[in-house]
Chains A and B, each alone.
Chain A
Amino acid sequence: MKRRIDYARFMADAPPTIRLTDRKGASVLVVGGTWTVLSLRGIARQIETLRKGGKMRGVKQVDASGVSRLDTAGVLEILSIAGVDGPTDITTRDQRHAELFEVVKKNKGDATKEHHVNWFAHWLEEIGLDVVHFGQQLINLCAFFGEIVVVFAGAFLQPRRFRFNAVIRQMFEVWIKALSIVGILCFLIGVVIAYQGVQQLKQFGAETFTVEAVAIGMFRELGVLLTAIIVAGRSGSAFTAQIGTMQVNQEVDAMDTMGLNPIEWLVLPRIIALVLSMPLLAFWGDMAGVLGGAFACTIYLDFTFVQFFDRMRDTVGVWNFYTGMIKAPVFGLVIAAIGCFEGLQVRGSAESVGQLTTRSVVESIFCVIVLDAIFSIIFLLAGV
Chain B
Amino acid sequence: MAEGGQLVDHSDGREVILRLRGVRTQFDENVIHDKLDFDVFRGEIVGLVGGSGTGKSVLLRTIIGLNPARRGKIEILGVDRHGLHGKAEHDLQARTGVQFQDGALFSSLTVADNIIVPIREHAGLDEPTMRAIAALKIALVGLPADTGEKKPSELSGGMRKRASLARALALDPELLFLDEPTAGLDPIGAAHYDELVRNLQKSLGLTILMVTHDLDSLYACCDRIAVLLDKRVVVGTMEELLAYDHPWVREYFHGPRGRAAAPKE
Contacts and interface: CB of A to CB of B under 8 A. Distances in A.
Asked if A and B are interacting partners, one says yes
Interface of A: 1-2, 5-6, 9, 36-38, 40-41, 44, 71-73, 76-77, 80, 96, 99-100, 102-104, 107-112, 347-352
9 contacts: A2-B88, A37-B172, A73-B172, A76-B132, A108-B136, A109-B136, A111-B132, A348-B154, A349-B151
B237 to A, nearest CB: 24
A2 B84 CA distance: 9
Nearest to A72: B172
Contact of B124 (A41, A77, A103, A351): A41
B145 A349 contact: no
A38 B135 contact: no
A104 B129 contact: no
Given A71-B172, A109-B145, A96 B205 contact: yes
A37 B88 contact: no
A107 B136 contact: yes
A348 B153 contact: yes
B139 A107 contact: yes
A44 B107 contact: no
B123 interface: yes
Given A44-B126, A112-B149, A37 B171 contact: yes
B140 A103 contact: yes
A108 B126 CA distance: 18
B71 interface: no
A240 to B, nearest CB: 17
Contacts, number: 105
A108 B129 CA distance: 12
Contacts of A40: 123, 125, 129
A351 B110 CA distance: 12
B119 interface: yes
A38 B94 contact: yes
Interface residues of B, number: 41
Contacts of B204: 71-72, 100, 103
Interface of B: 79, 86-88, 91, 94, 107-108, 112, 119, 122-126, 128-129, 131-133, 135-140, 145, 148-149, 151-154, 169-172, 202-205
A5 B88 contact: yes
B152 A349 contact: yes
Contacts of B91: 5-6, 9
Contact of B133 (A37, A102, A352): A37
Given A37-B170, A77-B129, 11 more contacts: A6-B87, A72-B136, A73-B133, A73-B172, A100-B204, A109-B135, A112-B135, A112-B148, A348-B107, A348-B154, A350-B108
B171 A38 contact: yes
Contacts of B132: 76, 80, 111
B176 to A, nearest CB: 13
Nearest to A355: B108
B250 to A, nearest CB: 38
Closest 5 CB pairs of A and B: A348-B153, A71-B172, A107-B139, A349-B107, A103-B203
A99 B199 CA distance: 11
A38 B123 contact: yes
A53 B137 CA distance: 30
Given A5-B91, A73-B133, A77-B129, A38 B122 contact: yes
B120 to A, nearest CB: 11
B138 to A, nearest CB: 8
A100 B203 contact: yes
Contacts of A112: 112, 131, 135, 145, 148-149
A37 B94 CA distance: 10
Contact of B108 (A80, A96, A349): A349
B203 A111 contact: no
A350 B102 CA distance: 14
A96 B203 CA distance: 7
Given A37-B119, A108-B139, A351 B107 contact: yes
A332 B136 CA distance: 54
B148 A76 contact: no
B203 A99 contact: yes
A109 B108 contact: no
A188 B102 CA distance: 49
A116 B165 CA distance: 30
Nearest to A99: B203
A302 B234 CA distance: 84
A16 B147 CA distance: 32
Given A2-B87, A349-B151, A349-B152, A76 B136 contact: yes
Contacts of B149: 112
A6 B119 CA distance: 19
A96 to B, nearest CB: 6
A333 to B, nearest CB: 32
Contacts of A36: 172
Max chain A CB contacts within 10 Å: which of B79, B87, B171, B203?
A: B203
A110 B139 CA distance: 11
Nearest to B199: A103
B194 to A, nearest CB: 18
Contacts of B107: 348-351
A77 B125 CA distance: 11
B224 to A, nearest CB: 21
A112 B138 CA distance: 12
Nearest to B138: A109
A382 B112 CA distance: 62
A257 B170 CA distance: 40
